[in-house]
Structure 1
Amino acid sequence: MPPRSPFDPCPPIGRKFYSTPPHLFLGVQPPDLPQFSPAEALRKGTLWKVFADYYENPYRKGGKPRHG
């Protein structure tokens, strides 16, 4: 949590969370990457499994984070 002065008029930001996309670490896309089926690719938003990245804020209100 970021430090906060007792005289700060703004509400606290709270915890921050971010996800680093997997394509940042891949560089040039190699040939013959494993692929999802067409139906699964539409659900995941990508054809290649290494680029699939599920993001959900673990600090959201209302329960535990899902893993998908």
Structure 2
Amino acid sequence: MPTHHKTYHPYISPFDPCPPIAVKSYSTPPNLYLGFQPPNLPQFSPREALKKGTLWKVFYDPYYSPYERAKEGSDS
């Protein structure tokens, strides 16, 4: 199962004047993993689709920054 949040390790120069960020992350949209749109996908109501930005539930992906995910984990 592919994950929507990926990480990578950028090159860190010994001459970089700023403190390096050792691990960077990014989010990939769910439509990359679907391939094609099958018929009869579940849909949001029109009002909710306007809020979510898509009509089909499988294409909805709420974006969370890595810092928001870290806060969620520390609350529990």
* Length-normalised TM-score, structure 2: 0.64
Instruction: Give the Cα separation in 1 of the matches to 2:13 and 2:31.
Output: 39
The CA RMSD over aligned residues, in Å, is 2.4
Match of 2:51 in 1: 43
Gaps of 5+ in 1: none
Which 4+ residue blocks in structure 1 deviate beyond 2 angstroms? 1-8, 10-15
Identity rate, percent: 68
- CA drift of 1:20 comes to 1.5
**2:37 partner letter:** Q
User: Is the alpha carbon distance of 1:5 and 1:26 closer, same or farther for their aligned partners in structure 2, counting shifts above 3 Å?
Assistant: closer
Secondary structure of residue in 2 paired with 1:28 = coil
Alignment equivalent of 1:30, drawn from 16, 29, 38: 38
Looking at structure 1, the residues matched to 42 and 52 of structure 2 have their Cα atoms a distance apart, in angstroms, of 14
Residue aligned with 2:35, SS: coil
The secondary structure found in structure 2 opposite 1:18 is strand
Instruction: Give the TM-score normalised by the residue count of structure 1.
Output: 0.70
Q: Which runs of 5+ in 2 are unaligned?
A: 1-8
In the alignment, the residues of structure 2 paired with residue 55 and residue 15 of structure 1 have an alpha-carbon distance, to the nearest angstrom, of 19
What is the match of residue 17 of structure 1?
25
